[in-house]
Amino acid sequence: MNRFQVISMDNNKLTHLDDKGNPSMVDIGKKPVTRRTAKARSTIILPENVFDLLENEDIQTKKGPVFRTAILAGIMAAKKTGELIPLCHPLGLDNCTVDIRINTNKEIEVDCTASLTAKTGVEMEALVGASIAALTIYDMCKAFSHDIIIKETCLMEKTGGKRDFKRDDA
């Protein structure tokens, strides 16, 4: 099996393919409405010269405050996920937050948490929000250095739907 295929745990078949193998949006019409939340994290490594520009928990540039701009970009991106990811349902989020902090390894952690009451989950919205916020940090800091690494983006936890998930280090 291709490692990029999505498998439904219930019936061991691809969820975004119809019976003929063509791409298809998942029919959520008969699913129950439940409260759903998801939190995703992107981790960024800044070179020392960029990290040294941190002042009052943000980096100031000619384009504006980096982290505050990234927060807005992440929220805006999460709201547009259904337009960006093929076959992703368009969702009206009840809430979306982006939190940026420095961890003990001197890395930037961007957490995006999305929530709604609906028939489908918000994992993609949280992942897109965290990713775009991280890319915004890269874009705004690249004038100082191109040696910026977006190390990873991953789902940290989700609730609602068929099963909950929580990463051990969430």
> What was the pLDDT predicted at 29?
83
CB 72 within 8 A of CB 57: no
> What was the pLDDT predicted at 13?
62
> What was the pLDDT predicted at 80?
97
> What was the pLDDT predicted at 62?
87
**SS3 call for 23:** strand
Helix axes 66-79, 123-141, angle to 10 degrees: 150
> What was the pLDDT predicted at 170?
63
What dotted CATH number matches 34-166?
3.30.70.640
Residue 19 has pLDDT above 80, yes or no: no
* Partner residues linked to 165 by β-bridges: 158
**Number of helices (H), then strands (E), in the chain:** 4, 7
Q: Please give the helix or strand (H or E) that residue 75 lies within, else none.
A: helix 66-79
What is the set of active-site residues? 139
Residue 120 has pLDDT above 60, yes or no: yes
What residue segments make up the domains of the chain, in order of their start?
34-166
d(CA 104, CA 98): 19
Q: What is the pTM of this model?
A: 0.87
Model pLDDT for residues 38-86, shown as the tens digit of each residue: 999 999 999 999 999 988 788 988 889 999 999 999 999 999 999 999 8
User: Out of 6-15, 40-49, 124-133, 145-154, which region has the weakest mean confidence (pLDDT)?
Assistant: 6-15
